[in-house]
């Protein structure tokens, strides 16, 4: 929990002097947030797409006066898991901390927007987090960038926890599948849903309708 650094349900903003090695940090751009793993003021490891770098998408800072360092621009060329200094990562925007090990109540109140700002999952020790991030930086392997399913947030979350991130939508889909299976289980045992895909689909449809209207 990061209450000692001033993180609340209303704000995840922190000051630079509060940063610690292995922190999962992010900065709000125009319409999205960009995430990374902090090692030092000279080294933030993050995940970007090649197309975003070449098009300047990750330079859509809210600070028009910001100009990235040439060394960092070169290091980030081509996308993938890249490194830059803290200034170039933030691009003049506010520094935010993604908190871990928060309570269920804290997470429910904080994660009411389009993007999560904290997690109830425990974080791993800083050395473990940085080893993962640096391994991806040195050897690659964090799959292809996908803005919806494998982006900068998924990278930082995996480095912090060693787990794949499950979005609320995925969790709800799994829950719906389990509920549907429970509803169908008796019919499956009787053989009503065996056979063709069409028959199974019909059973699934009526089971879902039964669940919705009985809720």
Instruction: For residue 156, give both structure tokens.
Output: 């930082």
Q: Using CA atoms, how far apart are residues 65 and 57, in angstroms rounded to an integer?
A: 16
Smallest CA-to-CA distance from 147 within 26, 39, 51 is with 51
Is 34 one of the catalytic residues?
A: yes
Q: Which among 53, 56, 30, 49 is positioned nearest to 146, based on CA atoms?
A: 49
The CA-atom distances, in angstroms, between 5 and each of 14, 87, 99, 118, 125 are 7, 20, 10, 14, 18
Among 24, 34, 35, 154, the one annotated catalytic: 34
At 30, give phi and psi (nearest 5°): -85, 100
Torsion angle in degrees (nearest 10) through CA of 42, 48, 49, 50: 10
Out of 24, 46, 154, 159, pick the active-site residue. Answer: 46
Q: Any catalytic annotation for residue 46?
A: yes
Longest alpha-carbon distance in the chain: 69
Marked catalytic residue, from 72, 84, 88, 152: 152
Known catalytic residues are 34, 46, 152
């Amino acid at each position: 929990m990061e209450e000692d650094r001033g993180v609340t349900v209303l704000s995840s903003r922190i000051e630079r002097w509060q940063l610690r090695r292995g922190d999962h940090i992010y900065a709000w751009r125009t319409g999205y947030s960009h995430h990374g793993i902090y090692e030092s003021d000279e080294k933030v490891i993050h995940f970007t797409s090649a197309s975003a770098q070449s098009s300047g998408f990750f330079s859509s800072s809210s600070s028009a006066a910001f100009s990235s360092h040439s060394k960092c621009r070169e290091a980030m060329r081509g996308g993938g898991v890249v490194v830059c200094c803290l200034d170039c990562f933030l691009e003049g925007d506010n520094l935010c901390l993604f908190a871990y090990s928060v309570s269920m109540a804290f997470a429910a109140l904080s994660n009411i927007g389009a993007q999560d700002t904290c997690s109830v999952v425990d974080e791993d020790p800083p050395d473990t987090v940085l080893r993962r991030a640096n391994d991806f930086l040195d050897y690659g392997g964090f799959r292809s960038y996908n803005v919806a399913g494998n982006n900068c947030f998924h990278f930082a979350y995996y480095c912090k926890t060693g787990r794949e991130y499950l979005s609320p939508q995925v969790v709800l889909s799994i829950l719906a599948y389990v509920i549907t299976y429970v509803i169908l289980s008796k019919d499956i045992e009787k053989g009503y849903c065996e056979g063709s895909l069409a028959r199974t689909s019909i059973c699934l449809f009526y089971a879902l309708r039964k669940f919705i209207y009985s809720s």
